[in-house]
Chains A and B, each alone.
Chain A
Amino acid sequence: MWRFLIRRIVFGIVVLWLVATTVFLLFFAGPADNVARRLAGPRAPIEVVEQIKDTLGLDRPLFTQYLGFLGDLLRGDLGTSFISQTPVSTLILQSLPGTLWLVFGAAVLWMIMGVGGGVLSATKPRSLRDRTLTVLVLAGISLPTFVLGILMIYLALSVFPGTGLQPGPYISPFVDVGAFLSTMVMPWVCLAVVQAAVYVRLTRGSMLDTMGEDYIRTARAKGVPERGVVYRHGLRAALTPVITQFGVDVGTLLGGVVVTESVFGLQGIGQLMIRSVRDGDLPVIIGAAILAAAFIVIANILVDVTYSFLDPRVRLA
């Protein structure tokens, strides 16, 4: 177990290093003047370009710059935003709560909808219930997140204005619970609906496979009630691929729920990233990208550890 964990952590660090290196090369490789011009934007005056070249030391050899970049990264220094002149880590910390609340709230919703729908579908395959769910899933998968988001806002603001739901920036629940809920409910539902569609499909497929296994027949034969067969024996084993997907999804989304945050104007990592790309605010883009990679790496390690608890057949070596 420990050996496995250490190996995975080392592998994770290698992945992060590769991501950092790729991002660095993507932005800094090339002649200093070109790099500075790209960072400054096409319309910036030549003085600004020169200044950027000086402050970032773009004249130095690429490898020296790379070492400096890695050194800063190891010290946890992500640099300073070109636009707001605030440290990138501060900007990220400010944006993180919005994303965290959005992801965890939506995750609860989509797991309930997705796994619940999948089990309902799989326990009576080819029934009317199953078919209805399949059609809903198809609609959910075909529906782009941003279209669903815009439609929700349209409905909440113009068609049913009495609900009190509204899009808007993130408000901490510790400051104003009412305002927090009125801005978060729509993003939660929007993100959850799109995700749930995938989870219904996944749970249904996995559940159908599991319910055909010999040990399910054994459980039925020894007189376990159907409820117990479905939930204790069937669902537990069927959840393994669902948990993988869940870990990967949460890890990915924590790095920025780009579309949902943008549609609802919720300030989170995704919104921060989009804004930085529009403004050409390079340090923020790099910082957010590395943060996103870190979340994914951590989520993947957690998923593998969770496996061994869920499925007794998996032993970590």
Chain B
Amino acid sequence: MSLTDAAFEAEPVHAEVVHGKGPWQLAWERLRRDKAAVISMVVIVLVALLAILAPLFALITGHDPLTQYPSTALTPEGLPVGPGADFWLGADSLGRDLFVRLAYGARISLLVGLSATFLATLFGVIVGLLAGYYGGWVDGVLARVLDVVLSFPYLLVAIVLVAAVGASVSLTIFVIAFFSFAAMARVVRGQTIGYREREFTEAVRSLGASPLRIMVIDVLPNLVAPVTVLASLLIPTSIVFEATLSFLGLGVDPRTPSWGAILADSTDFYRVAPGLLVFPAVLLLLTTLAFNLLGDGIRDALDPKR
């Protein structure tokens, strides 16, 4: 074992002399040259800061996301005040601070987007590796399950589940993860089938490596690129799905500030207060667009053909 490992690792002897670049270093340099991807990263960092610093904004403005401030936030006619020094982006129809609510909403969006994507990736990779590596009846059963999951109408299933067990953040995460894992598993399965027959897997197998070792140590590193690309595209899909569910009143608790719920609240008032519609819509759009652009950028950067 030590002999073979040494033989594999002995390759970059001249690394310091030639300054050979690893595939990740190369991808990172390509990504940095991609203007759209860089701007997207900046946007994502800003949204993340908005989410992380939400309590700080609540402290500075003195406005809690759930409390109504009828005396300062509503005009004598009962209409919400516009953007200003006190309410940065104005107030909503109930006299709550729109900016503070959007900042807390960013937490929900990122929480759901990231955790659903993480779960989907984890299960997708496991199922895909097993189906692709073992083939035969294991693959037959798993591939059939994936087909069924992929043909399910997302939103309708979510609605039925909400009707049966009640709406919650964890249910939202679970539903998104459940429906996204199949796409991930299918990609991983296809790639694994390709790698299973390659010479290097053949070689470690003949050295007596266990299936687990082959899957995790020999096949998995080759799948990092497609998995990263797909995962980066799953994040915006999850964010949109959460917003949609909350907009329909089926996602998080309606009082919780979520971008979808804030947009749903705005529908009755945007004629008098367009900011209620425009600010959350733009924020949601910027976030999903940034994640999608970054995903495309990562794909291009990791593509060995370019």
Contacts and interface: CB of A to CB of B under 8 A. Distances in A.
Interface size class of A (residues with CB under 8 A): 35 or more
B75 interface: no
Interface string B145-170: 00010010101100111111000000
B162 A138 contact: no
A154 B153 contact: no
Contact of A150 (B162, B277, B289): B277
Binding site secondary structure of chain A:
helix
Contacts of A142: 236, 240, 285, 288-289, 292
Binding site secondary structure of chain B:
helix
A27 B163 CA distance: 9
**Interface core residue of A146, A154, A280, A296 (most chain B CB under 10 Å):** A146
A158 interface: yes
B92 to A, nearest CB: 15
A285 B160 contact: yes
B160 A289 contact: yes
A76 to B, nearest CB: 21
Given A23-B160, A144-B243, A150-B277, A277 B250 contact: yes
Interface string A1-33: 000000000000001000000010011000000
A150 B263 contact: yes
B163 A285 contact: yes
Given A144-B240, A154-B277, A255 B153 contact: yes
B182 to A, nearest CB: 14
A141 B284 CA distance: 13
Contacts, number: 94
A143 B285 contact: yes
B270 to A, nearest CB: 6
Contact of B248 (A158, A248, A255, A274): A274
B72 interface: no
Given A23-B160, A143-B285, A150-B267, A252 B248 contact: no
B179 interface: no
A298 B247 CA distance: 30
A298 B289 CA distance: 35
Interface string A149-179: 0110010011000000000000000000000
Interface residues of B, number: 35
B284 A144 contact: yes
Contacts of A96: none
A255 B156 contact: yes
A161 to B, nearest CB: 11
B281 interface: yes
B151 to A, nearest CB: 7
A300 B161 CA distance: 24
Contact of B285 (A26, A147, A274): A147
Interface stretch (A107-115, A229-237, A256-264): A256-264
Interface in A210-265: 248, 252, 255-256, 258-259, 262
B156 A256 contact: yes
B296 interface: yes
Nearest to B272: A158
B274 interface: yes
Interface of B: 148, 151, 153, 155-156, 159-164, 236, 240, 243-244, 247-250, 260, 263, 266-267, 270-271, 274, 277, 281, 284-285, 288-289, 292-293, 296
19 contacts: A26-B164, A27-B163, A138-B289, A138-B292, A144-B244, A144-B285, A145-B244, A146-B248, A158-B271, A158-B274, A255-B156, A258-B248, A273-B159, A274-B159, A274-B250, A277-B163, A285-B159, A285-B160, A292-B153
Closest 10 CB pairs of A and B: A142-B289, A142-B288, A252-B153, A277-B163, A26-B164, A144-B240, A146-B247, A147-B281, A285-B163, A142-B292
Given A142-B288, A147-B263, A289-B156, 10 more contacts: A23-B160, A138-B292, A142-B289, A145-B244, A146-B243, A248-B151, A259-B248, A273-B159, A285-B163, A300-B151
